[in-house]
Amino acid sequence: MLTTARELARRSQAAAGAGDRAGWLALFADDAVVEDPVGPSPLCPDGQGHRGAAAIAAFYDSVIGQVETMRFEIERSYLCGDEVADVGAIHLKFPTGDTMRVNGVFTYRTDGTGRITALRAFWEFGA
C-alpha cells in the first residue's frame, strides 16, 4: 500500500515535534521544497522556499531546531490525490520561555514513493 500525503504529514509533524532532525529530513525527496511560510518573509527573503536536501537541512537548523517544543493541532485535514491540506495550528515554545501559536494551512505533496516533494505553510508572519 502506498504512503499517503496525510501519513507523510503526520510523520513530518511527529519528527519535528520530537526534535528528530534526521527522521524529518529523511522524509523529503532530494529535490523537495519547503516554503514556510509561502512567499517572502524574514525566514526566506526571496520567497522561493528552501529547495534540495542542503537547503531543507539549513531550514531545519535555523527554524525548527531553535524551538524547545513544537506541537501540531490539526483541526481539519483534506486528502486529495497526492496532496493533503491540514488546517490548524502549531504551538511553539522557545528556550527563552516565549510561546507562539501559528494558525494556518499546511500542505504536503508526495511523489507517490513515500517521500515529500513539497511542504508549504500558509500563515501570516506578522499575525
**pLDDT by residue (tens digit) across 17-45?**
999 999 999 999 999 999 999 999 998 89
Q: What is the pTM of this model?
A: 0.94
Half-sphere exposure (CA, 13 Å, Cβ side) for 65? 12
> How far apart (Å, rounded) are the C-alpha atoms in residues 18 and 69?
8
Q: What is the pLDDT of residue 19?
A: 96
Q: Is the predicted pLDDT of residue 88 greater than 70, yes or no?
A: yes
Domain ranges of the chain: 5-121
Cβ-contact 79, 73 below 8 angstroms: no
For residue 125, name the pLDDT band (cuts at 50, 70, 90).
confident
For a pLDDT cut of 70, what percent of the chain falls above it?
A: 98
pLDDT in tens, 61-75: 999 999 999 999 999
> How far apart (Å, rounded) are the C-alpha atoms in residues 56 and 51?
6
| DSSP single-letter state for residue 52 | S
Cβ-contact 105, 86 below 8 angstroms: yes
- Which amino acid is located at 70 in the chain? M
**What is 5-121's CATH number, 1.10.760.10, 3.10.450.50, 3.30.9.10, 3.30.750.24?**
3.10.450.50
